[in-house]
Structure 1
């Protein structure tokens, strides 16, 4: 089935009412991300994008661009209304007191200011929890960098969207030209709503009553269809059950003894290389770009453990897997997570890529990859505190989560400033390190979120990650030099 495609810019195409984030009610999975952090702050699910701009955009134009975007994507005017006592699911409702000045701000760093200074300031902003009475997003323009560049930070809650949905969003909103587009398609903002938690519950009860006959009929048809498929192909049903057991089981190796602690402290780091370089390294040994990326991260973990005199052979890692296809609506969350024991102790980067490739292909073929979404309805009926404790215990078994999201291939602009880099920072809810790669105009932008309770020497760790990337890239350079 064809995968989702990134859309053209809404600056150039009149979409009318864009369906990005159109669902009124959160899924059970999204509701879990929204609620669990209230019981366990270490499960906070904040996504951030740190864009490096080639110049400082004109402020009034940037504000106007956000006002336009709020008409195109109404979700960003909406707050979350949670039914009382956890009955029902959270609902997206237009904030009657929406204030763009609260969500979009600017700051000038004291001179001299470098990219690292700006990145560390962005981390402090991302660390702060959202005001849950307002729409869960913030944007910040950071000015004053010595080289004349600027930083744009977009911070959103994971319940709004996953990485692929986020890329659909920015592709829709960013212009393909530096000059203003005064006649771009526009849309009126939605009217404000004064929705209470009891109103949200009433909505869902009424909807449940009205749709009950069709739901029962649909469940019956699904049951008959499932029974028919099992009768036709009992091997597939057995394979699904075995896959479910594998994904529900703990990872096949214990966590690193150096990284057992989990806390609230975070450190951001970045790595970058070109798409061509990383792909050439992967191709030199028969792997994919994603295989080389994972092998580079594992090389960094190996070096870090060796430098601290605590070498390990395997590392438990998680890998988000997009479950989207072309028929899925834009926005929202559609992903699963595979877990496996990665060959961190393999010193040869070529061998490491090959072994990673075998594990990744097995993980992507798991029939029960959507186990999180399947379990979410049952988990949503349990006490939030109990689920949060259980979930943290599961995610704490993972030392690294690594995600790879296809990004924008053409130059894009924000209020006249070109976006030269787009560094993603996904949450690390219980895992020691979360690394995310976004390909942006031919550059692999890698954002690393570090739990500083797990990684107690973050400067050394980032140095090791850089060395791990270099040893993988040398594979492609050797092949090129041998021609």
Structure 2
């Protein structure tokens, strides 16, 4: 059963379902201060590791097509349901407290919704080369922390939407991803009430400072966050100094730095985005034959793809038996922060058995890792997640990337976020969405991340790789497809007769 929502959230959900706009009670208050965990995503951001999530959706043309002006009008219709998409961060003088969300009094929708094109007829490869160039660019912190690119020129008159939203913006608690609100279950466009939004005047420096003092005095959470910021800054500085000292000491001692594997190493400012489209029926077929869940089959496919890809790189499988991955999962847990999606997101760490040659054994080992999680009673069924209003995978991927970032100290190698979506077509202003690919962000030292979304009978992989560290990322995409074929082959292989002993040489 879903977690009980507050009256405010129930009211918001009712207004969304009824097609009515939220009231001005959603406007910015001085208490809309950036929480410490959200501030961490801003402070941890670097030029080589921007902290925003991205999604690429591809649409077939509807009866009247889908153009840039229509997308602008659609976003203008729906943006009132996510007020923070029209807010920016205002810093407090002296940095004595966390920044505050304030209305952007110069909000320009045309700045955030941009138009691009491929030379016709553009291929998927050209589209994702463009995506790989756009994704690493950091968002402008003086404006609301999101962008949408409308890309036209694809073959068969298709178009694409590329969403970028900062991790500090989409938390699943106060704000869901804009992409969750733009899609409808019917090609008929819903009529909404006119949006009469006008920005509130930005607070002065004196008011920001006074608000910070008041919050620290009256709000225990704000006081804790302020102390935590100071402690965290000192700790991070110490770690940087300590790490630098160790490197210098190692160099003076003549020691060489440890060898970096294919999934370790510093990031560049450039990316590769590789996509793979598969069919959900294939995963269900493997599940029905061997048990487990579709998620188990997806992770076994990722494991097989990693194994094959590592072997193409002449990696010694004897020295690399497992790849530790963090897999965000949806749970019911009162001790975790509640989201507006009816469940919480927790990290599950699994060792992917890349050293195992048998695809069936790999599947069973992955299934065993998740069996204990399922037996706790905290797990949430995939069909329940897929039934959430709107296109919730974009929000779940955003929360999953936040969870993965918070778990970075646990020493995992790879993040894999698999989110089930609705199995019926969705539409944007009458145009049918035919594919949705997540583009997960990379963390420092982690040049590879994988996102998976199931939608309308398809399972769509989005692989983000550092362009310099992993120039052969396309090979990994091919290995994913071959790993699924390998699992499918086990569903047709005849079983050995019972009672017969194993053959010996």
Q: TM-score, normalised to structure 1's length?
A: 0.75
Of 280, 292, 298, the residue aligned with 1:275 is 280
Equivalent residue number for residue 384 of structure 2: none
Displacement of 1:361 in angstroms is 4.0
Equivalent residue number for residue 424 of structure 2: 410
Equivalent residue number for residue 52 of structure 2: 46
Alignment: residue pair count: 418
Displacement of 1:393 in angstroms is 12
- Contact 1:81–1:197 (CA<8 Å) still a contact in 2? no
Of 433, 444, 453, the residue aligned with 1:438 is 453
Displacement of 1:288 in angstroms is 0.9
SS of alignment partner, residue 110 of structure 1: strand
Between the aligned partners of 1:417 and 1:286, the Cα distance in structure 2 is 37
Equivalent residue number for residue 361 of structure 2: 351
Equivalent residue number for residue 466 of structure 2: 451
Distance 1:120 1:75, change over 3 A: same
Distance 1:133 1:105, change over 3 A: same
Distance 1:120 1:62, change over 3 A: same
Distance 1:199 1:275, change over 3 A: farther
- For residues 24-103 of structure 1, the aligned pairs below 5 Å read 24-37=32-45, 40-55=46-61, 56-103=65-112
Equivalent residue number for residue 502 of structure 2: none
- For residues 417-428 of structure 1, the aligned pairs below 5 Å read 417-428=431-442
Distance 1:32 1:476, change over 3 A: farther
Between the aligned partners of 1:165 and 1:407, the Cα distance in structure 2 is 21
Between the aligned partners of 1:323 and 1:352, the Cα distance in structure 2 is 25
Unpaired stretches in structure 1, ≥5 consecutive residues? 217-253, 370-390
Unpaired stretches in structure 2, ≥5 consecutive residues? 225-257, 380-404, 495-505
Displacement of 1:284 in angstroms is 2.1
1:293 maps to 2:302: no
Between the aligned partners of 1:214 and 1:80, the Cα distance in structure 2 is 17
| Bigger shift: residues 46-55 or 11-20 | 11-20
SS of alignment partner, residue 207 of structure 1: helix
Displacement of 1:423 in angstroms is 0.8
Equivalent residue number for residue 476 of structure 2: 461
SS of alignment partner, residue 461 of structure 2: strand
Displacement of 1:165 in angstroms is 8.9
Between the aligned partners of 1:99 and 1:366, the Cα distance in structure 2 is 48
Offset from partner CA, 1:276-303 (integer Å, 9 cap, x none): 3212213322211111111111111100
Equivalent residue number for residue 263 of structure 1: 267
Equivalent residue number for residue 397 of structure 2: none
Between the aligned partners of 1:467 and 1:213, the Cα distance in structure 2 is 50
RMSD: 3.9
Distance 1:329 1:341, change over 3 A: closer
- For residues 227-266 of structure 1, the aligned pairs below 5 Å read 257-264=261-268, 265-266=270-271
- Contact 2:78–2:181 (CA<8 Å) still a contact in 1? no
* Bigger relative contact order (CA 8 A; separation at least 6): 1
| Bigger shift: residues 82-91 or 265-274 | 82-91
Equivalent residue number for residue 136 of structure 2: 127
- Contact 2:34–2:98 (CA<8 Å) still a contact in 1? yes
Displacement of 1:352 in angstroms is 0.9
